[in-house]
Structure 1
């Protein structure tokens, strides 16, 4: 089977992991610090912290953006992995669903603009499959909200699928918002498990550094018990083994992203106009962690591709229909209703050979 996901581990990871095991430092230590510095240099911002996973990054982002007091709404998309929206609930906040743009599968910014209210504490956007949300348009919408209500909701960008994505020629994480990244095993940049939170300012950075370790300043004198916890925090720091894998994988991540883009360009050309299949829209800076298409009769398409030895998947189910939230948070979402059951993802990753690509195209063109 041609896989939909595959784990990248650079050969340099083995020696770095072995060294961490030899030293016996497996919690947060020198490799974690080195990885953070490398990430700061790569993104061009000092305001970031590494964490144990992307879900922790989302949770901490909302804590920093919306505050620890429960209540208030977060505008968000239901077309995402559940981690995005369960982080809202974990912070004691309420979900308000926003419809999707059927062309990009990202949040519909027109619907979002209509739903901002005095109850809005934050806005959560997901760069689905690595397609950048129009952050300039979002900023203008928030300008209008600030003029209307006298406050500006914070923005949390879920960048879990968007390492390497740029907007306006700048990498995500450099547009002044809270940005949560995932370094899960199957991502462009993998640690096995890990994540990163980029924050907009120095004060948020100081808080994030404390909150990822129970609210304790790691530089404090804990030997003599002479330290204070100004606000309680979490056990969210990144371990040394994951940091070692991340350091090694960072060396070649740009090449992997570029191969995703080249494969996507190939599919764009070869699948245009196929009956029963519609491509999503394109934007400059798209990193194509996934390659979504919209198909007629999705179950038949999945059966056909499976029989052809190609793994395809819807990847996620719309979050608003889960029993845990279905009755508590409801909203009319006509665009999502129209597109949800048509979306499926085909392999686009760095592991595809030219033969794999041609086989995938041939299987799709032969119909289902």
Structure 2
């Protein structure tokens, strides 16, 4: 079976000695490997205002806190995402307001978002689903017009670009996930990028109980509640090894995605997605719309190929029942979209087989 997702790790002879060294060094908590990993990632993204955390979920929670979101506020978000994007909004006591999506790609629709803004709206959360980048041209216009911060969830889209730069350089806050099946994994982990460097020190305190790592515990004074969200040296050591391969690994996703973009055009029963202007996807999952999706997935499985929706729409969960509203474009999108394997493990022979199987029909 050609899997839909699969973790990438560097060669054993490179990774295992590095892990053995750090594990038996006696220094496995937060230390120099974490700071070195942060520096490597900052250079990769092009933004110096980045901190590492223990998960993408932690990064989301901190972003909402730093944005000043609290009980009674509203945050416009998308149901087309993994659950933590929106459960962390609930963690800070705010209400999720569901924006509708563009039925051509499943990404949040700027026109829908604009219509939902009220005096209670304190942030707009943009999820670059499956590696596709939202319509940033329009969303930055909205952000500027209403003075509302944008929080980008890039869990699916490491290496994707807007205006020629890797995402994480323009918005108020951007979060990355290093969970097991993402473009790059440290088993678990994440990053939070900020546009405003003045928030960097506060972010560092919030990820470590409200304490400053620059002072001893005897000198510290906690002034606000913090959390145990810091990355450890073991995860960071994996990350340092991964950084040597990140361009090549993501490059394989992109090469496979572009191949499908060309090879799947014009096949009956398939509708290709629309990529937004000034964006370059990183194809974490190759996404398209198909007729008779259940039949399509069954046919793919019979031919040894994984195909599915992967994520369940977030607005159906009971925790968000007070936010329920009609989302006609989401209904259209959700009933037709599907993912096929696209990652680093998909060889040229695999992708050719996938296209030939699809061309035979279902």
Q: TM-score, normalised by structure 1?
A: 0.95
Q: CA deviation at 1:82?
A: 0.7
Question: Are the counterparts in 1 of residues 207 and 227 from structure 2 also a CA contact under 8 Å?
Answer: yes
Question: Are the counterparts in 1 of residues 149 and 171 from structure 2 also a CA contact under 8 Å?
Answer: no
Q: CA deviation at 1:282?
A: 2.6
Q: After superposition, what is the alpha-carbon deviation per residue over 1:279-302, rounded to whole angstroms, capped at 9, x for unaligned?
A: 111354211111111111111111
The corresponding residue for 2:240 is 247
What is the 5 A alignment of 1:285-300?
Answer: 285-300=280-295
| Correspondence 1:308 to 2:308 | no
The corresponding residue for 1:17 is 19
Q: CA deviation at 1:341?
A: 1.5
Unaligned segments of structure 2, at least 5 residues: none
Larger mean Cα displacement after TM superposition, 8-17 or 344-353: 8-17
Unaligned segments of structure 1, at least 5 residues: 146-151
| Correspondence 1:341 to 2:343 | no
Measure, in 2, the Cα distance between the counterparts of 1:163 and 1:144. Answer: 28
What is the 5 A alignment of 1:80-91?
Answer: 80-91=81-92
The corresponding residue for 1:355 is 349
Measure, in 2, the Cα distance between the counterparts of 1:127 and 1:305. Answer: 26
CA 1:267–1:176: 2 relative to 1, 3 Å: closer
63, 66, 72: which one pairs with 2:65? 63
Q: TM-score, normalised by structure 2?
A: 0.96
227, 243, 259: which one pairs with 1:234? 227
| Correspondence 1:212 to 2:216 | no
Measure, in 1, the Cα distance between the counterparts of 2:180 and 2:314. Answer: 23
Question: Are the counterparts in 1 of residues 143 and 150 from structure 2 also a CA contact under 8 Å?
Answer: no
343, 354, 365: which one pairs with 2:359? 365
The corresponding residue for 1:38 is 40
Runs of 4 or more, structure 1, over 6 Å off, are none
The corresponding residue for 1:149 is none
Name the count of aligned residue pairs.
Answer: 358
Q: CA deviation at 1:304?
A: 0.9
CA-atom RMSD, angstroms? 1.2
325, 332, 344: which one pairs with 1:331? 325
The corresponding residue for 2:6 is 6
What is the 5 A alignment of 1:102-121?
Answer: 102-121=103-122
| Correspondence 1:122 to 2:123 | yes
Measure, in 1, the Cα distance between the counterparts of 2:121 and 2:185. Answer: 33
Q: After superposition, what is the alpha-carbon deviation per residue over 1:50-94, rounded to whole angstroms, capped at 9, x for unaligned?
A: 000111111111111134x32210000011111111111111110
Measure, in 2, the Cα distance between the counterparts of 1:45 and 1:357. Answer: 35
The corresponding residue for 1:221 is 216
